[in-house]
Structure 1
Amino acid sequence: MRSTAFLLPGQGSQSAGMGTRLYAHDEVFAAAMDEFFAALGDSGRQLRADWLSADPVLPMDHVQRSQPLLFAIDHAYGRLLKSWGIAPAALLGHSMGEVAAAVLAGVLDFTEAARLVWWRCERLVDAPAGGMLAVAAAPDAVRPHLRGEVVVGGVNAPKQTIVAGPRDALEEVTGSLRAHGITCAAVPSQTPFHSPALDGSIPAAREAFARITRRPPTVPVVSCYTAAPLTDAEAVDPDYWAPQPARPVLFWPALSTLLASGDHVLVETGPGQVLSRLARRHPAVRAGRSRVVPLAPVLPGEEVATLLAARDALAEAAEQAEAETGAVGG
């Protein structure tokens, strides 16, 4: 029988207007977003105005827009699913998605986490200029092309590696990869997430995490940094949370850990379909043992229709699971 697992996306899944149509349509989603904006006070009011504006002050890929809004929208989708009576048997968050997963799993308090996310994003504005690059190759094929402080910042799939680092060195790496016929494309980001360029942010973040509530998870969380289930000790340790923006994301190994635990309906609980596309490549999904249901369209525009289709798909999956349970019981 398939259990439901939430996949919560991070940097690279953002797009201008994400979530805004659903905000105008769904009361539960809107209430969760408003709770987030209220937690930030004046900063939240400005963020909300920028999010809803056709002419925002900051572009969506700026760290003070993409990161807090991804956290808020991931969490709001999770709250929406809960209002439908859908509770996850496990959660897997990608980058910022893991912070939202931690809130949904009871590890972090929502208001405290929201304020800490904003606080950290304010400080990352001064991080070295840089970015991230998605490369259609395995990590071992990518490493010979790395230069300077550019590192492997993520393993999203067997042949999708993320590299990250300062801007000039990243441009050199891009040129080397393309000269050798390796396809690559920029990840929407103005910050070199998941690289040592952000190591300087760790000490202050460690102190900040030490000041907020931390609890063992009430729902299993698969860590995208260890590719193993989050332990109770890790969940309450500031040294687990503080380094995350500077450490590699191991999404594919983490997804394999999740799917090795059983068959799942993988619900992408956030904007876009980046994680859905990746998950559909997994052997457990290709074989039909697990399936993928995104809640949002690839790009904003059909959010309400996509959500309704997802609700029908999840209802169908629940009916199938109930029938299978009845058949086994009989």
Structure 2
Amino acid sequence: MTCLHHRSVVLLFPGTGAQHARMAAGLHGHEPVFTQAVDSVLAHLGAEGEALRADWLAAVPAVPMDADSRSAPLLFAVDYAMGRLVESWGVRPAAYLGHSMGEFAAAALAGVFRLEDAVRLLWKRVQMQRTTPAGGMLAVAATQAELASYLGHGVVVGAVNAPRHTVLSGPEEPLRLVGEKLTADGRTFRRLASRTPYHSPALAPLVPETEALLGGVRLAAPRTPLHSAYTTKPLSEEEAVSPAFWAVQPTAPVLFWPTLDQVLRDGDRLLVEAGPSQSLTVLARGHEAVRSGRSAVVPTLPPRAMGPEADRRSVCAARERLLAAGAHLPQGTSGRDHSGTLPVDLPHS
């Protein structure tokens, strides 16, 4: 026997570290909505956008994907385009949740930023980051408390992704020494694909100029609720239109797990990761609400570069799962209300 169980859709957008060569490239020229959205982002970058597209679609890019000049704009473009693609299937999300760069893509989709302003600001920030010292991030299988003794000399907690998934961020030499200490202590960690110490004080010198740039941009309240991984709460109108709020994000820690926990406490959810690598899908699967079956998570792209056909199969599988969940029912039918709720048949408990 089954009963009708309602889950609201939340789109998840991954951030820095999720990028990889040819991420979602198999969809370009194959999925019209995705193609148009990516091309719109790159068009706002002019000649640089053409170079970005060439590297993205190349088997061997001229500039590596880990370089900020490639990872930041292309990850934004893929996140944004995947969000557009999922919504083109008739899915009307109840909320967005982005990780790091993913929150910026979510804000563009939610109408906080006009697309052209978001792309211009993103590219300007990439250029400004070239003036900061090199650094990076380490993902460590440990709690914040367990890593307290490793902090200092510019190394800070850059992200809390799960109870035992903490990211440390900082300048290159102090971070290298922390890596040596982690190895000596037998702790499991890996270096993330970034050459910039995101979410650390190393980027603080960029805040004043970024805030000044944002002062000339039209900002608006989100059309769709946007849960901020910097505050763990839905973005308020005051925060959405505040240049200071957006300017300090590269220096502030990403509190993804506490934010996800709050989102899943608010109701049963169908989490849809609209971006590459399935990193947020893996994290969400560890949450009790997903493990118990009350909520569920659907990735839209493969976990790594697996070729064009794998990209297309993954998108088709995600579309089918959302169809099975009722995501394609037209607005106004009994299967969907206007809050982003979808009907899902689950075993009666």
Pairwise same-fold verdict (TM > 0.5)? yes
Inter-partner Cα distance in structure 2 for 1:212 and 1:326? 41
1:207-222 matched pairs, under 5 angstroms: 207-222=212-227
Instruction: Give the alignment's TM-score, normalised by structure 1.
Output: 0.96
Number of corresponding residues: 327
Q: Which amino acid aligns with 2:247?
A: A
Q: CA deviation at 1:54?
A: 2.5
Match of 2:304 among 299, 302, 309: 299
Q: Which residue is 2:318 aligned to?
A: 310
For structure 1, the 5+ residue unaligned runs are: none
Question: Match of 1:3, SS?
Answer: strand
Q: CA RMSD in A?
A: 1.7
More helix by share: 1
For residues 125-178 of structure 1, the C-alpha deviation after alignment (integer angstroms, 9 at most, x for no partner) is 222110000000000101112241100000000000000001110011111122
Match of 2:244 among 239, 242, 257: 239
Structure 1 contact 147–170 (Cα < 8 Å) conserved: no
1:1-330 matched pairs, under 5 angstroms: 1-300=6-305, 301=307, 302-318=310-326, 322=335
Q: CA deviation at 1:106?
A: 1.2
Percent same amino acid at aligned positions?
A: 48
For structure 2, the 5+ residue unaligned runs are: 1-5, 337-341
The alpha-carbon distance between structure 1 residues 183 and 304, as it changes in their structure 2 partners (threshold 3 A), is same
Q: CA deviation at 1:260?
A: 1.3
The alpha-carbon distance between structure 1 residues 23 and 279, as it changes in their structure 2 partners (threshold 3 A), is same
> Relative contact order (alpha carbons < 8 A, sep ≥ 6): 1 or 2 greater?
2
Structure 1 contact 222–257 (Cα < 8 Å) conserved: no
For residues 249-279 of structure 1, the C-alpha deviation after alignment (integer angstroms, 9 at most, x for no partner) is 0000010111111111100011110000000
Q: Does 252-261 or 175-184 show the bigger shift? A: 175-184
The alpha-carbon distance between structure 1 residues 180 and 39, as it changes in their structure 2 partners (threshold 3 A), is same
Q: Which amino acid aligns with 1:11?
A: T
Structure 2 contact 19–71 (Cα < 8 Å) conserved: yes
Inter-partner Cα distance in structure 1 for 2:311 and 2:60? 21
The alpha-carbon distance between structure 1 residues 325 and 63, as it changes in their structure 2 partners (threshold 3 A), is closer
Instruction: Give the alignment's TM-score, normalised by structure 2.
Output: 0.91
Structure 1 contact 139–152 (Cα < 8 Å) conserved: yes
Structure 1 contact 6–90 (Cα < 8 Å) conserved: yes
Question: Match of 1:6, SS?
Answer: strand
The alpha-carbon distance between structure 1 residues 326 and 171, as it changes in their structure 2 partners (threshold 3 A), is closer
Question: Match of 1:25, SS?
Answer: coil
Inter-partner Cα distance in structure 2 for 1:209 and 1:61? 26
